[in-house]
Chains A and B, each alone.
Chain A
Amino acid sequence: GQSLEQPSEVTAVEGAIVQINCTYQTSGFYGLSWYQQHDGGAPTFLSYNGLDGLEETGRFSSFLSRSDSYGYLLLQELQMKDSASYFCAVRPSWGKLQFGAGTQVVVTP
């Protein structure tokens, strides 16, 4: 079967660094993406890793290790507006996305 595991919730203070891990098991793999979703809103694309290594986009970075079926999203210099759900999503086949259960990030003052 196919599955993705990520923590359900993470709490951190403003200015801190948070790492959200994602492990996956899929029959096919075309890369790992990360999405942010605020309550009641649409998912917005954050990053994509097709190859092993680190991708950096501003305060957010994402890492992939295909041999370990593992990736993470790193949120630096946390801001209150970063409070949201973060989903990892694998591409099990061309064009499709399969989402993890999501990690609720709570940023406190």
Chain B
Amino acid sequence: GAVVSQHPSWVICKSGTSVKIECRSLDFQATTMFWYRQFPKQSLMLMATSNEGSKATYEQGVEKDKFLINHASLTLSTLTVTSAHPEDSSFYICSARVRGLYEQYFGPGTRLTVT
């Protein structure tokens, strides 16, 4: 149980275009989903927290107009990187949490390369 999927697993896009990444909880309802970014050989940095049906809360320094997060249902959250630039190339990982429980279950990540 507690499986989280992400789609796509990797994507290459041109500079200036937008990319949408989906995060789904497959066998449980996720009241809260988290989006992280990880650069090579570095730690996971929390970008934003999203609760189903409400606006995402962004961490300091993360541009909310650039990284659009939508948590439309209890099993799906999406991250859209708008007007992507090469410096946005990174590994994006989502995680999901069940209401009342602390543990986060991580998705397999999405490798984004912006050319």
Contact = CB atoms under 8 A, between A and B. Distances in A.
A64 B29 CA distance: 31
A95 to B, nearest CB: 6
Contacts of B46: 96-98
Interface string A34-56: 00000011111100100000000
Contact of A99 (B32, B44, B97, B105): B44
B78 interface: no
Contact of A87 (B32, B44, B103): B44
Contacts of B109: 40-42
B42 interface: yes
A101 interface: yes
A94 B102 contact: yes
Contact of A95 (B44, B49, B108): B49
Interface in B83-115: 91, 93, 97, 102-109, 111
Interface residues of B, number: 21
A99 B46 CA distance: 9
Given A41-B108, A42-B107, A96-B49, A91 B102 contact: yes
A100 interface: yes
B43 A95 contact: no
A31 B104 CA distance: 14
A25 to B, nearest CB: 15
9 contacts: A30-B102, A31-B102, A40-B91, A42-B106, A96-B49, A97-B34, A97-B104, A99-B43, A102-B41
Interface of A: 30-31, 40-45, 48, 87, 91, 94-102, 104
Given A40-B91, A101-B42, 7 more contacts: A31-B102, A42-B107, A42-B108, A91-B102, A96-B34, A97-B46, A97-B104
